[in-house]
Structure 1
Amino acid sequence: MKKLRILSLAMAAALSVSLLAGCSDGTATTPDTDTSAAPNDTTSTATGAAFKIGGTGPLTGAASIYGLAAQRGAQIAVDEINALGGDIQFELKYEDDVHDPEKAVNAYNALKEWGMQISLGSVTSKPGEATSVYNFEDRIFALTPSASSTAVVEGKDNVFQMCFTDPNQGLASAEYIYNQGLAEKVFIIWKNDDVYSTGIKDTFMAEAETLGLEVVGDATFADGNDQDFSVQLGQAKDAGADLLFLPMYYQPASLILAQADAMGYTPKFFGVDGMDGILTMEGFDASLAEGVMLLTPFNADATDEATVNFVTKYKELYGETPNQFAADAYDCVYAYKLALETAGCTPDMSASEICDKLIEVFPTITLNGLTGDGSGITWESNGQVSKAPKGMVIQDGAYVGMD
């Protein structure tokens, strides 16, 4: 817990990477991004023997923005690494799970039949909880970019996360709001059928009580009841809340912002990493997000060379700004490159042999990637990532670091 407190205070630092290729001493940074080569959106081509890396995510359906972002971010990294022509080459394949646990298991089985040796797990938490069970049983190492539920890694020595866990986000958000003096009275709107939202909310409330941050109420919603938030907003307004904490993805958050504006209710809004993407949401008036605050591991508006190159390439290929799901998946592939080099793995090894090596190596490496604050990304032996989130505020249609 003490470590999480320290991490949560390291906000808004500039991401600083020395643009070097990966090395085998347990430390690596992401390289310059060559914007001349367009990645393939399906299965990549390697110049030699390649490790087969697979993942599942919502490539279609309501949550497809997350799955497509992760797939595309991973693909850019794979193509960069393959273009280097070194010993580490990848063949990447994503299967569509439509953000459904049962379909995710079917997608996982298809990847296993394809010959997957290492895994990017699943993009969203419920599918991630389902597929991680099979990663553990089959001894196929997994590093998920964004399935943040603690249940994804609990009891599984070969499943790791690139994203913050839900409890970490809840704790860090409560501490940030309290330490920055952002609110006197907080109201929480959360999704009660979503482990992501529930996990963040629970830890936020516990930490708020510890700190003496006043939570004046909370209200829930669920699938099928996620279009009209007038009741929840009315409760928050009646309670005198001057800040709404929204532990959710940006689709329902966009409706909350619009409906609060329509009723003339103007509290501060504070979100989490699932809010990333709201500025590019089709049909949403981005001006309604002005002043919204959130914690995120990635800032697409950062000016360091690695981020600028990644964002430039992503925009050229896909016509939109990458979100943190894309950046986390990109970092996953580079983490695999570093770990495989450090462990001395080769593509002719079995998945279980590679798994044993990566379990040993991952807690020893440090990656300087696109996400975090530039102080390096490391992992605990329980699979949880250690990196500092950034406090951001939306100003003039862009994410700006908060002091």
Structure 2
Amino acid sequence: MKFGKVFKRVVVFIAIFTLLVGSCLLSYSKSSSTIKLGVNLELSGAVAQYGQRALEGIKMATDEINKKGGILGKKIELVIFDNKSDKTEALNIATRLATKENVLAILGCTTSGATKSAAVAAMKYKIPIISPTATDDKLTLDERTGKTKAYVFRVCFNDSFQGDVMAKFALKTLKVKSVAIIYDASSDYSKGLEKNFKVAFTKGGGKIVAEEAFAKSEQEFSGILTKIKAKNPEAIFAPVYYDEAGLIIKQARELGIKVPIMGGDGFDDPKVAEKAGSKYANNVYFSTHYSGQDPDKKVQDFIKKYKQLYKNEPNAFVATSYDLVYLVADAIKRANSTTDREKLRKALEDTKNFAGVTGVITINKYHNAQKAAVIIELKNGVQVFKQKINP
């Protein structure tokens, strides 16, 4: 009998102790001296260049903010994970950041497929996820209801806008009436841009003379390009990432295809000219989020600081990720909380006329960034500002 009473007292003590410890841990997480922001990026794998450049922009902005005293008296602490350019890993990391790491928000991913996967965890655990560069139209929308996903945001324009921009550029600036399209059938990004360009181009009076899809990780495009050459298009639109872009340009030029080759922001990486070769990287045009040739003081100051740190030219992935951190910092200030995810979500929704390096950003009702697009031309592999197109 006495043993039973002692046992019951021990059980009660353990239960009370567990509650007290849990309460202390909860109190600690809410009164942490830092603001924990999760980073979910493609730091290795097929599109590592994007994640690595994005991380540079994120770290650069974070260091600047922390040197100035942080946000609401607290400094930013980055919790960084590599999703290895894998959608499943992106979801696993987002789940860990939302639960085990208990971060305030998730920065990333850079690609549409990985971000859509990670967004599943963001919605489940009610944590804001903000991508610097994922452009797929469906990213922020619930495909069943058509409603905006409450916790999913981006600081870049979407494929509808980007596809429309490149279609107008082809029709009005290049003055072409027939285009062939090459796209990656395994990529949400590629399929989204292909669809939106086609709609806008044909609506504007243009004709799609060929559409050729390829499988993931394709390296040989000569067969596809030979078919396209036979159709005599006035231009080629290839909404692909940098590896495929460089190879398509090189192999097209080697086949004697001299027409303009166009793409989206996936072309915005030095690897394109590297893989194509500078002599072939001509008459190439793509839409992106920013140009280093913009004379705006904010842009030039950013470039100067980046060069001092990384001894290189910043591309759009650096710039949009840099803007991402400052935009989130601005939202945290307006939310007046360093721990409340819901208040941050609302502040992100209310973002208007945020002046960033990549332009003035307003988050619309679909959680997309309304901002201008830039057209870049490659001349002997060197990026040259062509024009800016507003929403």
Asked if these proteins are the same fold (TM beyond 0.5), I'd say yes
Q: Match of 2:175?
A: 182
Q: Match of 2:13?
A: none
Amino acid at match of 1:87: I
Instruction: Give the counterpart of 1:144 among 131, 146, 154.
Output: 131
- In the TM superposition, residue 363 of structure 1 has moved relative to its aligned partner by 3.0
Partner of 1:392, secondary structure, is: strand
Residues 274, 280 of structure 1: CA spacing in aligned structure 2 closer, same or farther, 3 A cutoff?
Answer: closer
Are positions 1:370 and 2:357 aligned together?
Answer: yes
Partner Cα separation in structure 1 for residue 343 and residue 68 of structure 2: 27
Partner Cα separation in structure 1 for residue 312 and residue 180 of structure 2: 33
Are positions 1:70 and 2:63 aligned together?
Answer: no
Matches for 1:371-386 after TM superposition, within 5 Å = 371-372=358-359, 376-386=360-370
Check conservation: 2:177, 2:205, Cα contact below 8 A. Answer: no
Q: Match of 1:213?
A: 206
- In the TM superposition, residue 174 of structure 1 has moved relative to its aligned partner by 0.9
Partner Cα separation in structure 2 for residue 398 and residue 174 of structure 1: 23
Are positions 1:108 and 2:101 aligned together?
Answer: no
Matches for 1:212-361 after TM superposition, within 5 Å = 212-224=205-217, 226-278=218-270, 282=274, 284-345=276-337, 347=338, 349=339, 353-361=340-348
- In the TM superposition, residue 399 of structure 1 has moved relative to its aligned partner by 2.4
Instruction: Give the counterpart of 1:389 among 373, 379, 383.
Output: 373
Partner of 1:215, secondary structure, is: strand
Are positions 1:52 and 2:36 aligned together?
Answer: yes
- In the TM superposition, residue 71 of structure 1 has moved relative to its aligned partner by 1.0
Residues 134, 217 of structure 1: CA spacing in aligned structure 2 closer, same or farther, 3 A cutoff?
Answer: same
- In the TM superposition, residue 94 of structure 1 has moved relative to its aligned partner by 2.0
Tell me the percent identity: 29
Q: Which moved more, 1:87-96 or 1:197-206?
A: 87-96
Partner Cα separation in structure 2 for residue 208 and residue 63 of structure 1: 28
Are positions 1:97 and 2:89 aligned together?
Answer: no
Residues 354, 250 of structure 1: CA spacing in aligned structure 2 closer, same or farther, 3 A cutoff?
Answer: same
- In the TM superposition, residue 64 of structure 1 has moved relative to its aligned partner by 0.7
Check conservation: 1:164, 1:385, Cα contact below 8 A. Answer: yes
Partner of 2:279, secondary structure, is: helix
- In the TM superposition, residue 260 of structure 1 has moved relative to its aligned partner by 1.4
Please report the TM-score for the alignment, with normalisation by the length of structure 1: 0.81
C-alpha distance after superposition, 1:341-373 (max 9, x if no partner): 12222x2x3xxx33244325533422111113x
Partner of 1:81, secondary structure, is: helix
- In the TM superposition, residue 313 of structure 1 has moved relative to its aligned partner by 3.1
Check conservation: 1:216, 1:241, Cα contact below 8 A. Answer: yes
**Structure 2 unaligned regions, length at least 5:** 1-31, 143-148
Larger radius of gyration, structure 1 or 2? Answer: 2
C-alpha distance after superposition, 1:220-279 (max 9, x if no partner): 11114x111112211221111120111111211111111112122211111111100045
Partner of 1:325, secondary structure, is: helix
- In the TM superposition, residue 332 of structure 1 has moved relative to its aligned partner by 0.5
Partner Cα separation in structure 1 for residue 50 and residue 312 of structure 2: 13
Check conservation: 1:377, 1:387, Cα contact below 8 A. Answer: yes
- In the TM superposition, residue 79 of structure 1 has moved relative to its aligned partner by 0.4
Residues 100, 87 of structure 1: CA spacing in aligned structure 2 closer, same or farther, 3 A cutoff?
Answer: closer
Residues 60, 357 of structure 1: CA spacing in aligned structure 2 closer, same or farther, 3 A cutoff?
Answer: closer
- In the TM superposition, residue 389 of structure 1 has moved relative to its aligned partner by 0.2
C-alpha distance after superposition, 1:91-143 (max 9, x if no partner): 11221001111111222233231221111132211111111111111111121
Number of residue pairs matched by the alignment: 347
Check conservation: 1:157, 1:381, Cα contact below 8 A. Answer: no
Amino acid at match of 1:246: A
Check conservation: 1:158, 1:359, Cα contact below 8 A. Answer: no
Amino acid at match of 1:81: I
Q: Identify which of structures 1 and 2 has the higher relative contact order when contacts are C-alpha pairs closer than 8 Å and 6+ apart.
A: 1
Please report the TM-score for the alignment, with normalisation by the length of structure 2: 0.83
